[in-house]
Chains A and B, each alone.
Chain A
Amino acid sequence: MNLSPDIWVWVSAFLTLCIFSFLFRDNLLYRFAEHLFVGISAGYFIAITWHNVIYPNLVIPLFKQGNIIFIIPFAFGILYFTRFIPKLAYLIRLPIAFLIGWGSGVAIPATFQTYIIKQTQGTLLVPDAFLRWDSGLWAVIGLVGVVSTLIYFFFSKERKGILKPTANLGIIFIMLGFGASFGYTVMARISLLIGRIQFLLGPWLGIIK
């Protein structure tokens, strides 16, 4: 064992163990680490937002370069603070409405492009897929999977007749996908745990190199 002489490694190890103590039950050490983590990260976020967002994108162009057009986003941003003035609190809806409208406007075409058009193209059966029997089979399975999954997500029809077995087939495809995704993601989570254990056994305790 070769204990680290670095005080910050000890602080880091202590906080890691504080968080891990939650596995046993909620306790004072976990609360301490939790509040410290939340407080520091919130403060850090404010500093980062000021230095990386507000200062370069608003303060410099508006107040230092005199670019008057930036008065519009500045005024919109200021409206967020009207919630502290009850008589003017309704004005907060303007930036919120703008943001949700902007968010939907940006998200809908992007979603359409990525999740509908490209995936539709990827699902289509093409002659090249049938040059080999196995790739042809997988292409057909893919098409059947997409069709049955789409039918599973029909909300405005009762699941009766042909829709019922097709939707049931769809949920089988969905669960197969989730199973594969579950295994893949669990592996990634385990690697996070391994990373912390390696830190405790390596830089802190010096048991492993």
Chain B
Amino acid sequence: MLLILAILLAIQPPGIPIAKDYPNDDGGKIIVHWTKTPQEQEIDGYVIYRKEEGGTFSRIGFIGRGNYKFTDSNTKDGVSYYYQIGAVKDDSVLAMSSISEPSTSSQQWFHTGRVNVLVGVIIYAIILLYFIYHARMGKKLFIRKIPGLEALDEAVGRATEMGRPILYVPGLSSISDVATIASMNILAQVAKKTAEYNTALIVPNRDPVVYTVAREVVKEAYTDAGRPDAFNPDNIYFLTANQFAYAAAVCGTMVREKPATNLLMGMFWAESLILAETGTTTGAIQIGGTDSVHQLPFFIAACDYTLIGEELYAASAYLSHEPLLLGSLKGQDWGKMIILGILIVASVLILLGLKDIYYFFNIG
């Protein structure tokens, strides 16, 4: 019956499938391509069959007409698979392709689609190392004034005069977040100042790992400042991993402990305005800093000073004046300069007809 139907409709089989290892992956995938059945308007789509060496074909998927590519995501690395494509209509296979050559999946160590990322990271690393080397050799590096950080001394001094603590909120993200790493660097500088002024520093944490890092950072800062005795481990504590429970508890701390200064540095989400608004109502001086574009407007609205994105990353270098950090800051500026140059030069060249430059930025 099917044969008669196929003859009546004169459906020719799809082209011989070509199966290849899925490129730039961690194995377990084979991609299959084929050419369409000439009478494609007569069918619903294509059924994909697969078999192992010496086995029998079984159906592994269906794809609608107009598509000639299928990714088999359920393969064992090193095993040879054969593929066959059937043109199907109303669940009946009308024509079967020839069998593909065998293919095996494997994992790749190097992602060839991301060579541009590698090139960029290497260039950037060379620039950073160059400036760090020069900074360490004693070359004086200039940094312009950042108002939010200029206010930090004033904020710590105010807390000392009022005899009230400083609340440092290190954001709600994990330690793998760049903003959290920057926040830990700033915390080290703030802790040094509070140790020198003998001002209490409260650091509530949402992430258990960030809590451990924050505790060590503060402890070391107190030791560096020559005041290990003043370090109070009870002031650096883990609250909860729940976002709004954490926000509720920090708000409670703000109104009960009445810190003279609130420092909100790191990654924030929907709780940013809740924290910043509560801080404002307590009359604390507030410095907010984040690289979250969606939360920055709230900090600008509710905080006295705000560190916008990159300023957060620059803060630790600015505060410490350590050659390593200053050199990296200078390197970052050169990185920006290079991007700026690329934007202008590449735009001009593309408009002059060198379109291939545009595709250099494609990421596989």
Q: Which residues of A contact B (CB under 8 A)?
A: 19, 22, 25-26, 30-31, 33-34, 37-42, 44-45, 80, 83, 92-93, 96, 99-100, 102-104, 106-109, 111-113, 116-118, 120-121, 123-127, 143, 146-147, 150-151, 153-159, 174, 177-179, 181-182, 184-185, 188-189, 192
Report the bound CA distance from A181 to B298 in whole Å. Answer: 10
Within B318-363, the residues touching A (CB, 8 Å) are 318, 329-330, 332-333, 336-337, 339-340, 342-344, 346-347, 350-351, 355, 357-358, 361-363
Contact yes or no, B239 A185, CB < 8 A:
no
Report the bound CA distance from A147 to B363 in whole Å. Answer: 23
Could you show 21 A-B contacts with beta carbons less than 8 Å apart?
Answer: A25-B255, A31-B252, A34-B249, A38-B249, A41-B245, A42-B239, A42-B242, A45-B240, A96-B216, A100-B213, A107-B178, A108-B178, A109-B117, A118-B361, A120-B339, A126-B350, A143-B343, A150-B339, A155-B314, A156-B333, A178-B296
Interface residues on B, range: 35 or more
Contact of A124 among B124, B270, B358 (CB under 8 A): B358
Report the bound CA distance from A109 to B117 in whole Å. Answer: 7
The segment out of B39-47, B54-62, B92-100, B140-148 that lies at the interface is B140-148
Contact yes or no, B241 A45, CB < 8 A:
yes
> B273 on the interface (CB 8 Å rule)?
yes
Contact yes or no, B361 A124, CB < 8 A:
yes
Chain A residues positioned under 8 Å from B242 (CB to CB)? 37-38, 41-42, 44-45
Q: Report the minimum CB–CB distance from B323 to chain A (whole Å).
A: 14
Report the bound CA distance from A202 to B238 in whole Å. Answer: 36
> B18 on the interface (CB 8 Å rule)?
no
Closest to A36 in B: B245
> B7 on the interface (CB 8 Å rule)?
no
Report the bound CA distance from A120 to B362 in whole Å. Answer: 10
Closest to B256 in A: A26
Q: 1/0 per residue B157-176: CB within 8 Å of A?
A: 00000000000000000111
Name the prevailing secondary structure of the B interface residues. helix
Q: Report the minimum CB–CB distance from B215 to chain A (whole Å).
A: 8
Contact yes or no, B248 A26, CB < 8 A:
no
Chain A residues positioned under 8 Å from B213 (CB to CB)? 96, 99-100
Report the bound CA distance from A199 to B147 in whole Å. Answer: 44
Answer whether A155 and B329 are a contact pair too, CB < 8 Å, given A143-B343, A181-B293.
yes
A109, A118, A188 — most chain B CB neighbours (10 Å) = A109
Contact yes or no, B297 A182, CB < 8 A:
yes
Q: Report the minimum CB–CB distance from B112 to chain A (whole Å).
A: 14
Contact yes or no, A185 B340, CB < 8 A:
no
> B196 on the interface (CB 8 Å rule)?
no
Contact yes or no, A153 B310, CB < 8 A:
yes
> B3 on the interface (CB 8 Å rule)?
no
Answer whether A92 and B344 are a contact pair too, CB < 8 Å, given A102-B176, A154-B333.
no
Report the bound CA distance from A124 to B354 in whole Å. Answer: 12
Q: Report the minimum CB–CB distance from B140 to chain A (whole Å).
A: 11
Contact yes or no, A83 B252, CB < 8 A:
no
Report the bound CA distance from A103 to B103 in whole Å. Answer: 36
Report the bound CA distance from A19 to B248 in whole Å. Answer: 8
Report the bound CA distance from A182 to B297 in whole Å. Answer: 6
Contact yes or no, B144 A156, CB < 8 A:
yes
Contact yes or no, B336 A153, CB < 8 A:
yes
Closest to B255 in A: A26
Q: Report the minimum CB–CB distance from A152 to chain B (whole Å).
A: 9
Answer whether A155 and B252 are a contact pair too, CB < 8 Å, given A124-B346, A124-B350, A178-B300.
no
Report the bound CA distance from A182 to B212 in whole Å. Answer: 33
Within B201-236, the residues touching A (CB, 8 Å) are 209, 212-213, 215-216
Contact yes or no, A100 B181, CB < 8 A:
yes
Contact yes or no, B175 A100, CB < 8 A:
yes
Contact yes or no, A113 B239, CB < 8 A:
no
Closest to B251 in A: A22
Chain B residues positioned under 8 Å from A107 (CB to CB)? 176-178, 181
Contact of A185 among B124, B255, B297 (CB under 8 A): B297
Chain B residues positioned under 8 Å from A80 (CB to CB)? 212
Within B89-140, the residues touching A (CB, 8 Å) are 114, 116-117, 120-121, 124
Q: Report the minimum CB–CB distance from B160 to chain A (whole Å).
A: 25
Chain B residues positioned under 8 Å from A25 (CB to CB)? 255
Within B264-309, the residues touching A (CB, 8 Å) are 270, 273, 293-298, 300-301, 308-309
